[in-house]
């Protein structure tokens, strides 16, 4: 089985030769592998694609994450974005101060401004033997980003109607970008809902605001391409809801107990996770990676439906040796 067959087998509900290994290596870590700065790569699609491809070749994992580039005028729906040095792109100004500003939102044309260049280049470079995943923000995350997280979460009580309207207004961005990724030939799309976790909001607020928008977006996307729903930090109290969104895969983070998660969702969805990107991958050593991988396999490998991954993006400062160890031990402990 090649890497892509292994990944697709799991999506199809079959048991592959071993657990696929698809860590979250994106533009935060990959540029380091080719000795380039993160800002260079985010602003130059070829650099980003080459970094993501080189990292997969060098470390030998099964699937890459095709991040979109920032293009010449970095912006999230009209909010200016800056990237500096080896950081990640940051929204530096929010443009939605109130209801009137909804019309200032710019739903981007995915095919303009060079955003899709790294995706197309990566898909071409990777070929048919390895998997490529695309990645988009959820409507809830877009809404939080253009409003500013503090104002957005204060709105939950101040003006819940506005929260719903804002989420609805940005949903076309999620859907259009996901469709473009499907057109570009990626195998699955990661729907990132970083702020929807119960480390940030209550299960009730998740159900009121994030869950319906995940369902709506996934209903529009999933006909074209399988969706991997990513929620950072703790999501245990809402896992059963996440399993009903229509997502094929749930990407869960390290605070979630993998065995409990598997017990909670059964065979309804595939789990992808959940090695701690900071305490294990950045701060730990090979022995920590081995222990974490062995534990994850012990908790979730049996019966299939599992993809080994980090719980979140691997930070740039993480040692390359830890990524090598993730793959080595993933192969050692992942056989069926």
Partner 1 sequence: MKGTLEKFELAIIDGNADGSADLADVIVAEGRATPAEIFAHLSSAMEEVGAKYETGEYFIPEMLRSAEAVEKAMSVLETYLFERKDGQAGIVVMGTVKGDIHNIGKNIIVSALRAAGYEVHDLGVNVSAKKFVDKVKETGADLLLLSAFTTSTKPALLEIIALLKTEGLRDRVKVLSGGASHSQAFADEVGVDGFAADVKSTLEVCRRLMGES
By the criterion CB under 6 A, which residues form the site for ligand B12? 28, 87-88, 90, 149-150, 194, 199, 233, 277-278, 312-313, 315
The counts of H helices and E strands in the chain are 14, 10
Which residues are within 8 A (CB) of 291 and not within 5 positions of it... i.e. 6 or more apart?
A: none
Q: Token digits for 38?
A: 């993160």
150 binds partner 1 (CB under 8 A): yes
Closer residue to ligand B12, CB minimum distance, 143 or 269:
143
140 phi/psi in degrees, rounded to 5: -65, -45
Q: Token digits for 27?
A: 């533009």
202 binds partner 1 (CB under 8 A): yes
State how far the Cα of 109 lies from the Cα of 177, in Å rounded to an integer: 8
| CB 218 to ligand B12: min, Å | 22
Task: Count other C-beta atoms under 10 Å from residue 161's C-beta.
Answer: 9
260 binds partner 1 (CB under 8 A): no
| CB 90 to partner 1: min, Å | 6
Closer residue to ligand B12, CB minimum distance, 88 or 236:
88
The span of 11-19, 70-78, 148-156, 176-184 binding partner 1 (CB under 8 A) equals 148-156
- Locate tokens 């804002």: which residue? 166
How many residues at the interface with partner 1, by CB under 8 A?
18
Choose, by CB under 8 A, the member of 158, 207, 244, 332 that binds partner 1: 158
Residue 231's Cβ-count burial label (10 Å; 0-12, 13-18, 19+) is buried
Are β-strands 63-66 and 131-137 bridged in parallel, bridged antiparallel, or unpaired?
A: parallel
Residue 154, contacted partner among ligand B12, partner 1, none, CB below 5-8 A by kind: partner 1
Residue 88, contacted partner among ligand B12, partner 1, none, CB below 5-8 A by kind: ligand B12
Residue 53: DSSP 8-state:
H
Binding site for partner 1 (CB under 8 A): 84, 87, 90, 149-150, 153-154, 156-158, 198, 200-202, 205, 278, 315, 317
């Amino acid at each position: 089985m090649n890497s892509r067959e292994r990944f697709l087998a799991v999506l199809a509900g079959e048991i592959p030769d071993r657990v696929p290994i698809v860590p979250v290596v994106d533009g935060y870590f990959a540029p380091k592998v080719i000795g380039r700065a993160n800002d260079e790569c985010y602003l130059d699609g070829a650099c980003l694609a080459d970094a993501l491809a080189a990292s997969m070749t060098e470390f030998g994992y099964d699937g890459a994450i095709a991040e979109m580039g920032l293009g010449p005028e970095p912006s999230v729906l009209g909010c200016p974005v800056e990237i500096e040095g080896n950081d990640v792109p940051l929204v530096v100004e929010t443009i939605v101060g109130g209801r009137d500003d909804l019309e200032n939102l710019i739903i981007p044309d995915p095919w303009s401004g060079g955003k899709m260049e790294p995706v197309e280049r990566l898909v071409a470079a990777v070929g048919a033997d390895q998997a490529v995943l695309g990645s988009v923000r959820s409507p809830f995350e877009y809404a939080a980003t253009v409003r500013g997280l503090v104002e957005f979460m204060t709105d939950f009580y101040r003006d819940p109607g506005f929260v719903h309207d804002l989420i609805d207004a940005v949903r076309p961005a999620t859907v259009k970008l996901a469709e473009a990724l499907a057109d570009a030939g990626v195998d699955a799309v990661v729907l990132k809902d970083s702020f929807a976790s119960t480390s940030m909001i209550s299960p009730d607020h998740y159900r009121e605001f994030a869950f319906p928008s995940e369902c709506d977006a996934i209903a529009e996307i999933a006909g074209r391409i399988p969706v991997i729903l990513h929620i950072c930090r703790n999501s245990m109290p809402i896992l059963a809801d996440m399993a009903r969104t229509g997502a094929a895969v749930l990407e869960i983070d390290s605070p979630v107990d993998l065995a409990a998660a598997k017990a909670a969702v059964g065979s309804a969805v595939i789990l992808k996770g959940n090695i701690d990107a900071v305490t294990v991958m950045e701060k730990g050593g090979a022995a920590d990676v081995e222990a974490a991988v062995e534990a994850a396999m012990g908790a979730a490998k049996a019966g299939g439906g599992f993809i080994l991954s980090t719980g979140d993006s691997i930070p740039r400062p993480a040692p390359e040796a830890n990524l090598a160890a993730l793959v080595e031990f993933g192969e050692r402990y992942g056989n069926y």
